[in-house]
């Protein structure tokens, strides 16, 4: 049952964004995030908003999924807003008791809030439209120039891919071990912090042993299938840029340029 959890938030729908090369989406997310820090004025944020809304519409992701992702940062958002609202020096607008709200505070708080929200929505968009596999492939191909300076890109990518494959399996195993120990009277819920930490030993030790056993088996199976590192490997699904990808890069370049130019206005 637990194995049915899908990693990440991939929302399967057929949109242009979904079909883009993962490298484009990785670069796009990076560009978007950087662009949010270009300056603290209304014009760039207006442009960012248009860009974001447009991409959202094209991606066909339902709004309620986007909003759900924001729920997790509501706390952080509130703290950031409150801090900026009440602790910024400047021209006072409102005052009750010892709390004061300044014009600068209001301005800063609003920009902070928008920046945070856009950050989350922007990066969620990437995980909504790209499978974990595509992401690791994209990272592997995109970062491959780093191989020239001996960064083990292929190995890191293989590790990420295998981790993705085994996370659901290990989650299920954790559940099984927990149940087996509970059947022997183990209690994972009650007690203070120290007691709870100690009670995890009957869970973690078997889990680690199992994980190591799987790793050993898997290594043997990979070698039996002639795996010997990244050298000489071909790809079943090689990443090749298509026309849409080049257009997307173009739009990203144009967007970034525009954001930068607003600094000059």
Partner 1 sequence: MGIIKTTKLVFDYIRQDEESNEVEIKRAVDQVDLDIEEGSFIAILGHNGSGKSTLAKHMNAILLPTEGGVWVCGEDTKDETKLWDIRQNAGMVFQNPDNQIIGNIVEEDVGFGPENIGVETSEIWRRVSSSLEAVGMTAYRMHSPNKLSGGQKQRVAIAGIMAMKPRCIIMDEPTAMLDPNGRKEVIKTIHELNKTENITIILITHYMEEVIDADKIFVMDNGKVVMEGTPKEIFSRTHELKELRLDVPQVTELAYELKQAGFDLSDGILTIGELVEELCQLR
Partner 2 sequence: MSITIRDLSFTYSKDSVFAITALNHINLEIPDGQFIGLIGHTGSGKSTLIQHLNGLLRGTSGEILFHNKNIYDKDFNMKNLRSKVGLVFQYPEHQLFEADVFTDVCFGPKNLGLSAEQIKQRAKAALDLVGIDESYYQQSPFSLSGGQKRRVAIAGVLAMEPEVLVLDEPTAGLDPRGRDEILAEISRLHQKKHMTIILVSHSMEDIAKYVERIIVMNKGEKVYDDTPKEVFKNYQELEKMGLAAPQMSYIVRALREKGFPIDSNVTTVSEAKTEIIKVLGNGGKP
List interacting residues with partner 1 (CB under 8 A).
3-4, 132-133, 161-162, 164-165, 168-169, 213-214, 217-218, 220-228, 232-238
12 lies in the site for partner 2, by CB under 8 A: no
d(CA 35, CA 32) in angstroms, rounded, equals 5
220 touches, from partner 1, partner 2, none (C-beta below 5 to 8 Å by class): partner 1
CB distance 156 to 166 below 8 Å = no
132 touches, from partner 1, partner 2, none (C-beta below 5 to 8 Å by class): partner 1
d(CA 25, CA 17) in angstroms, rounded, equals 8
Q: What are the backbone dihedrals phi and psi of residue 99, each rounded to the nearest 5 degrees, phi first?
A: -90, 135
- State the minimum distance, in angstroms, from the CB of residue 166 to partner 2: 16
- State the minimum distance, in angstroms, from the CB of residue 5 to partner 2: 10
The contacts found for 227-235 with CB under 8 angstroms, 24 or more apart, are: 229/154, 229/155, 230/153, 230/154, 230/155, 230/158, 233/154
- State the minimum distance, in angstroms, from the CB of residue 51 to partner 2: 33
d(CA 77, CA 109) in angstroms, rounded, equals 10
201 touches, from partner 1, partner 2, none (C-beta below 5 to 8 Å by class): partner 2
187 touches, from partner 2, partner 1, none (C-beta below 5 to 8 Å by class): partner 2
165 lies in the site for partner 2, by CB under 8 A: no
Residues between 196 and 215 with contacts to partner 2, criterion CB under 8 A: 201-202, 205-206, 209-210
Query: Looking up tokens 């300056």, which residue turns up?
Result: 39
């Amino acid at each position: 049952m637990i194995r049915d959890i899908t990693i990440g938030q991939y929302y399967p729908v057929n949109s242009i964004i979904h079909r883009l090369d993962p490298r484009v989406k990785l670069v796009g997310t990076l560009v978007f995030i950087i662009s949010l820090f270009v300056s603290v004025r209304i014009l760039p944020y207006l442009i960012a908003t248009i860009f974001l809304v447009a991409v959202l519409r094209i991606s066909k992701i339902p709004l309620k999924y986007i909003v759900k992702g924001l729920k997790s940062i509501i706390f952080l958002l509130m703290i950031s807003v409150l801090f900026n609202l009440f602790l910024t020096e400047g021209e006072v607008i409102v005052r009750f008791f010892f709390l004061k709200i300044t014009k600068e505070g209001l301005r800063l708080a609003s920009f902070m809030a928008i920046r945070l929200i856009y950050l989350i929505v922007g990066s969620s968009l990437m995980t909504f439209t790209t499978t974990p596999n595509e992401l690791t492939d994209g990272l592997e191909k995109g970062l491959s120039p780093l191989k020239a300076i001996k960064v083990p890109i292929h190995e890191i990518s293989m590790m990420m891919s295998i981790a993705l494959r085994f996370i659901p399996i290990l989650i299920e195993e954790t559940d099984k071990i927990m149940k087996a120990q509970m059947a022997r009277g183990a209690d994972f819920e009650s007690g203070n912090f120290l007691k709870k930490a100690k009670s995890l030993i009957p869970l973690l030790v078997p889990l680690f042993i199992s994980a190591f056993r799987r790793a050993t088996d898997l290594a043997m199976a990979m070698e039996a299938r002639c795996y010997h590192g990244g050298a000489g490997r071909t790809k079943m699904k090689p990443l090749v840029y298509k026309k849409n990808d080049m257009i997307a890069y173009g739009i990203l370049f144009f967007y970034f340029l525009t954001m930068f130019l607003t600094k000059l206005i």
